[in-house]
Amino acid sequence: MNLRLRGASVESAGLLLLVIAAMWNAQIVSRWDREFGFWEELESQEVYLAILENQRDISLLTQEGRSEVQVAIADRIHDRVSRSTRRLMKETESRQAEGRDGQMAWMSKLHHVLIVLSAFLLAIGKWMTIKAPKQEKVAEA
């Protein structure tokens, strides 16, 4: 088999592997969005609820005695933070128990391996294609 033809086939294999890596990356990104889109939505809802509660607390502050309301506001904020923290910790523990974090890391590592392998194949294929005419001329002489 001709060296130039071998180089072209190795180069096309590298390109194919690069396309597979790009599709794999799209899958990783979509899965990442599904996993963490929930967290962003939850955070935005919590921020909205916190704004509503703070508006209510401010109206209470102007209507009632200042020190009692400040204590009540501090207690509410502490309760909200501790509830949110506990809920987020439970969610994180359940995700880790399901192995999603490990799976995402594995998928990401495999994606990097695919990219490195495709770059290697592209370089070898290009080198073989460039080297082929020189070796053919030497073989003719």
| Model pLDDT for residues 25-76, shown as the tens digit of each residue | 777 666 666 666 555 555 556 665 666 666 566 555 555 555 666 666 666 6
**What percent of the chain has pLDDT above 90?**
0
pLDDT at 2: 77
Residue 127 has pLDDT above 70, yes or no: yes
Over 70: is that where the pLDDT of 141 sits? Answer: no
> How many domains, in total, are found in the chain?
1
Domain containing residue 11: 3-140
Query: So what's the pLDDT on residue 55?
Result: 59
Q: Is 136 in contact with 49 (CB distance < 8 Å)?
A: no
The pLDDT of residue 15 is 77
Q: 57 and 79 in contact (C-beta within 8 Å)? A: no
Which comes out higher in pLDDT, residue 1 or 77?
77
**Rounded-to-integer distance, Cα 45 and Cα 66, Å:** 29
Cβ atoms within 10 Å, residue 62: 8
pLDDT tens by residue, 88-126: 667 766 766 665 556 666 777 777 787 788 888 888 888
Number of H helices, E strands in the chain: 3, 0
Tell me whether residue 85 is exposed, middle or buried, using C-beta atoms within 10 angstroms of its C-beta: 0 to 12, 13 to 18, 19 or more: exposed
| Residues near 126 by beta carbon (within 8 Å), at least 6 away in sequence | 7, 11
**pTM surpassing 0.85?**
no
Predicted local confidence at residue 12, as pLDDT: 81
